[in-house]
Structure 1
Amino acid sequence: MIRIILLRHGETTWNIEGRYQGQEDTPLSPRGIEQGKAAALALKDIHIDRAISSPLSRSHDTCRFAADYHHLPVAKDPRLTEISHGLWEGIHAEEIEARYPEEFHLWHTHPERVQMPEGENLEDVRKRAREAFDEYARSYDGETVLVCAHDAVNKAILCDLLGLPMSHFWQIKQDNACINVIECDHGIWRLVTLNTTTHLGYLVSGIEQKGL
C-alpha cells in the first residue's frame, strides 16, 4: 500500500487579489509562507519517505518546508503543474467574466466542458495527474509520499481517484496549505482525509477564492 499526503500550496498574493494564476510562477505571500510552515510542523512527526512537488515555486516551497523536517530532497514532477489558464492568466476574475462571459459561466457550472483559451481543459489535467499518481503507486509501494500541488490539480485527481467525473470538480474544496491523505492498496484508491486545515487554526476557512 502507498499512502500519499497531498498538500495544496500556501496563499499567494494573486490568490488574495482574485487573479487567475495557472502556470504563472507566483511566489507565496507572507501569510502563505506561515501557512506552509504550519503544515510542515503538523507533519513533523509523521513518517515520510519521499517528497514530490509541482515545479512551480509556490508549491515547491510549501513542500520544502515539510521535507526539511525529514531531511528529504523535493523532486519536481511537471505533471503536478497547475492547469494552464492560457489567456486568463494574470487577469482578475471580474475582468475574465467581462471578457469571456459565456466561458466564465460555463467554468463555474460545467467545468468539464471548458477549454481554456490557449490553455488546457480539466481532462488534460486529469490525465497527467492520474499518470503521475499511478506511477507513484507502482514505484513507491509501502511508502508514505508527500505530494504538493495546486487547487485544480488536487481537485481533478481527487475526483478521478474516487471515480467521479470532472463535472464534480467544484464539489471538492482545497484551501491553501490544506492536508489530504489518500491510500492505494492493490489498485484501489481511498480517501482518508480531505481539506484538513486545523493546523492553520480553523476547521472551516470560509474563504472562497475567485482565481485558481
Structure 2
Amino acid sequence: MSDRDASTPRVILARHGETEWTINGRYTGITELELTPRGEQQVLSTGKLLVGTGKLIDPVQLERVFVSPRRRARKTFELLFGTESELAALNKVEFTEDIAEWGYGAYEGLFGEEIVARRNEQGLDTERPWDIWKDGCEGGESSEQATQRLDSLINRIRDIQRPYMHGEKPVDIVLVAHGHILRAFAKRWLGVPMGSPLAMMLPPGAIGVLSYEEHDINAPAFLVGIALPLEEK
C-alpha cells in the first residue's frame, strides 16, 4: 500500500492551550476560562512552527476552519492564525457548537474522583466503573448525543472534500476545540463506536491529523506520522 499522497484532503485537529483547570484536572465544558500564559505560549510555538505559507497548516490550502465557541478555543484560533486572519474575510471560519466540549452537566468543574464518589453515593456503577464514553454525564451529554453531533459534522466535511480527493482543489479543514471532543471526533472519523476503547492522547496546544487512505472518501484514517513540508532553497 502506498503512503498518503500530499494532495489527499486532511482534517487537522488543534487543541486549545492550557487553562487552570487543565492543570488541576477539573472537567471543563461550558465554563469560560482564559488560557494561562504558558497555554498561550504553547499555541504560539505551535503556530510559529506549523502555521503559515508552505508549512504543515497553510492557510491557502484551507477550505474551512471550525472553531468551538468557547473562549479558550477562540483565543487559540487567534493565536494560531492571527487576529486579522484573511480566513474570516473569506468566510472560511465557522464557530459551532458541533465541536464544543462534551457536555459534562452535573460533573462540570469536578475532579474525576469526585464524580466517581458522587455516582457511588447514588448507587450507580455497581457492575462496572463509570466510563464517560459509554455512560455520558448526569444532566449532561450522552454518548449517543455526542455521536450524533460529531457524525453530522463529519458528514459535512466529507461532502466538502469528496469531489477533491486527488487534489483538484485544496480543501484541508481545521478543527480548533477541546481535548475530549477532538478525541471523540477521531473515534467517529474512523467509524469506531463511542463506547469502544481507542486509547488516544492530545495534550494542550497539540496538533493531530486525519485523512484518507488511497484518496478514498470511504477509507478515513489517522496520519500516524507527519512529514513536514520541504524547505525552499
For normalisation by structure 2, the TM-score amounts to 0.73
- Counting aligned pairs with the same residue, the percent is 27
Residue 79 of structure 2 is matched in structure 1 by 65
The offset of 1:90, in angstroms, is 1.7
CA distance in 1, matches of 2:154, 2:136: 24
Please, which moves more after superposition, 80-89 or 156-165? 156-165
Equivalent in the alignment of 1:156: 184
What is the count of residue pairs matched by the alignment?
193
Once the two structures are superposed, the pairs formed by residues 34-113 of structure 1 within 5 Å of their partners are 34-44=41-51, 45=55, 46-48=57-59, 49=62, 50-68=64-82, 71-73=86-88, 74-101=93-120, 102=124, 106-107=129-130, 110-113=131-134
Deviation of the 1:156 alpha carbon: 1.2
Distance in 2, Cα, partners of 1:42 & 1:169: 32
More helix by percentage: 1
Bigger radius of gyration, 1 or 2?
A: 2
> Mind listing any 5+ residue stretches in structure 2 that lack a counterpart?
1-7, 165-169, 227-233
Give the corresponding residue for 1:205.
Answer: none
Offset, 1:127: 1.8
Q: TM-score, normalising length from structure 1?
A: 0.79
- Alpha-carbon offset, residue 2 of structure 1: 2.7
Cα-to-partner distance string for 1:108-161 (whole Å, 9 max, x where unaligned): xx4333131110022211221121122022125441122111122111111122
Answer whether contact 2:150 2:188 (CA < 8 A) is retained.
Answer: no
User: RMSD of aligned C-alpha atoms?
Assistant: 2.5
2:33 to 3, 22, 26: 26
Runs of at least 5 residues in structure 1 that lack an aligned partner in the other structure: 197-212
- Report the Cα distance in structure 1 between the residues aligned to 2:48 and 2:129, rounded to whole angstroms: 39
1:189 and 2:204 matched: no
